[in-house]
Structure 1
């Protein structure tokens, strides 16, 4: 009976090691893929911007979104933790980009502007809550930062 238990434990440990290796390999491949696609998108957007007669603020904010995506991938690569705050920063930047684009192209204020600014305020409050939780409760920091 003891021989069978030892054999089962060895098989379980081997399967566990192979599974962990597979998960790590997938993380690295996915992170490099996301990083490469983001760099490619940023470079092509930058080149397209150079061919325009006029570069707008929403074009520049799009480059900031690419930069934040790369920073988020780099942090995840180094720490194996998803930086929640960076997702919120990307959301704020995207909403502000949409707001600037909407105001500069349509020039007629409507309730959509209120929805966008409300979204920016909501995401900003979320960032404050996450930062407060990270500073106040160190065990939460590992999960949210």
Structure 2
């Protein structure tokens, strides 16, 4: 009895289904982030016109940084679709740096935690500069 090995072609339907599910989820996430970004804009208008809802400068600064986090996530989703379903690494670094800066501003009671957050920001900035240096070398070659 002879074994017959069938020529197995990869099934391209499964990755396509996952890609469609991912795209739908990212569109829904983008819509949700746009709504939350709009709420932050209304909050800023409320603060500037009526001077209500702000207890101290840290609250305003925290709101501004949250606004930029929403903005960066939306920009990252847009770039995902513009760059043929690829997330650029630099956007993750931007978001990480912004989130850590927000942590330093909001939770600065413990000096050691603040130092660790500052070190993490430094590591992200060094990573970003290494990435840009490597990119510049590839373009010059």
TM-score band, normalised by shorter chain:
0.7 to 0.9
Contact 1:31/1:77 (CA < 8 Å) preserved in 2? no
**1:128 and 2:139 are equivalent in the alignment:** no
Among residues 3, 23, 38, which one is paired with 1:28 in the alignment? 23
**1:60 and 2:64 are equivalent in the alignment:** yes
**Deviation of 1:67 (Å):** 0.5
**1:81 and 2:82 are equivalent in the alignment:** no
**Deviation of 1:47 (Å):** 3.6
Number of corresponding residues:
126
TM-score normalised according to structure 2 size: 0.73
**Deviation of 1:19 (Å):** 3.2
Structure 2: gaps of 5 or more residues: 47-51
TM-score normalised according to structure 1 size: 0.72
> Bigger shift: 63-72 or 52-61?
52-61
**Deviation of 1:85 (Å):** 0.8
Within 5 Å, which residues of 2 pair with 1:45-124? 45-48=40-43, 50=46, 52-54=53-55, 56-79=60-83, 80-103=85-108, 106=109, 110-124=111-125
Structure 1: gaps of 5 or more residues: 139-145
**1:41 and 2:46 are equivalent in the alignment:** no
Higher RCO by CA contacts (8 Å cutoff, separation 6 or greater): 1
